[in-house]
Structure 1
Amino acid sequence: MQIVTRLIAMTRARQLQRQFQQIERNITALPSRTRSRLAIMTLREIGQASRCEFPHLYGTAPEQRYMPWGQGTELGFNRAQSDNPEVALRGIALWLAVAYHETKESPYPSLQPQHRQLLRVLRELRGAGNNEASDASSQWIRSGAAA
């Protein structure tokens, strides 16, 4: 049974890696202002998922609870491919949140690199959000509104 479980984990790791590459390309193509919005959306999605009984199944219908993994990443990935920019942004945030929780404390070595990559992207997004906020506050201070 352990061999089958490891094989399933390796298959999932490959699937997440393929999806992650596309998600990362989508994030890179975003302008910096949109990236800061994505950072806020992703943080909100991660928080909402963490309040669920099973955070890695966030976005999955309750009757599909006993599948090897949830449908949240698939749903988020499909939305990320949308032509509608708002839907795509929400899809990326959903994908990042579910993949984060799915790989967070995984005992399988094949999923740990995906978690490190997710943490790197989340750090970059957080940095983009912080830079955007500091730019806005410095512009506000330089304007006459602060006086």
Structure 2
Amino acid sequence: MRIVSQIIAISRARQLSRQFREVERHIQNLPRRGRAQLGMLTLREIGQASRSEFPHLYGTSPEQRYLPWGEGTDIGYSRARSDNPEISMRGIALWLAVAYHETKDSPHLKLQLQHRHLMRVLRELKEVHRSAEQPRPGNSLMGTAAAA
């Protein structure tokens, strides 16, 4: 039984890795403002997923909850490939959230490596989001009032 679970984990890690490369390419092609917005959407999706009964199955229909993994990454991946920028961004956020929860506490090395890659991207999105929130000198009303 151990070997079967190892094979399943390896095949899942390959699938996630393949999807992750394309998702990451979409993220890199976003303008800075789009990445900041994506960071906010992704954090929101991760929060919503963590409040669900099975976070790694977030986005999966209840009838499918006994599968080895859910449909959330597949749904997010297909949306991420959309020509509509809003749908694409929401798909990327869904994919990142579900993949995060799916790989978070995995005992399998390949999935742990995938989780590290996800954490790097999430950290970058969080940093972009934080820097976009901080007021820039001269752009705030207080700065212009003080200068006048």
Shared fold by TM > 0.5? yes
**Tell me, which stretches of 5 or more residues in structure 1 are unaligned?**
none
Measured against aligned partners, the alpha-carbon deviations of 1:7-47 in whole angstroms (never above 9, x if no partner) come to 00000000000000000000000000111110000000000
Which residues in structure 2 correspond to 1:1-147 (within 5 Å)?
1-135=1-135, 139-140=139-140, 141-144=142-145
Between the aligned partners of 2:102 and 2:147, the Cα distance in structure 1 is 45
Query: Secondary structure of 1:92's match?
Result: helix
Output the aligned Cα RMSD: 1.7
Between the aligned partners of 2:138 and 2:25, the Cα distance in structure 1 is 30
- Which has the greater radius of gyration? 2
Per the alignment, do residues 67 and 129 of structure 1 end up closer, same or farther by CA in structure 2, a change over 3 Å counting?
same
Measured against aligned partners, the alpha-carbon deviations of 1:50-92 in whole angstroms (never above 9, x if no partner) come to 0011000000000000111000000000000000000000000
Per the alignment, do residues 3 and 65 of structure 1 end up closer, same or farther by CA in structure 2, a change over 3 Å counting?
same
- Pairs aligned (count): 147
Between the aligned partners of 1:146 and 1:73, the Cα distance in structure 2 is 50
Query: Secondary structure of 1:101's match?
Result: helix
Q: Give the CA deviation at 1:133.
A: 1.1
Between the aligned partners of 1:138 and 1:17, the Cα distance in structure 2 is 43
Per the alignment, do residues 137 and 16 of structure 1 end up closer, same or farther by CA in structure 2, a change over 3 Å counting?
farther
Between the aligned partners of 1:16 and 1:5, the Cα distance in structure 2 is 16
Per the alignment, do residues 133 and 111 of structure 1 end up closer, same or farther by CA in structure 2, a change over 3 Å counting?
same
**Tell me, which stretches of 5 or more residues in structure 2 are unaligned?**
none
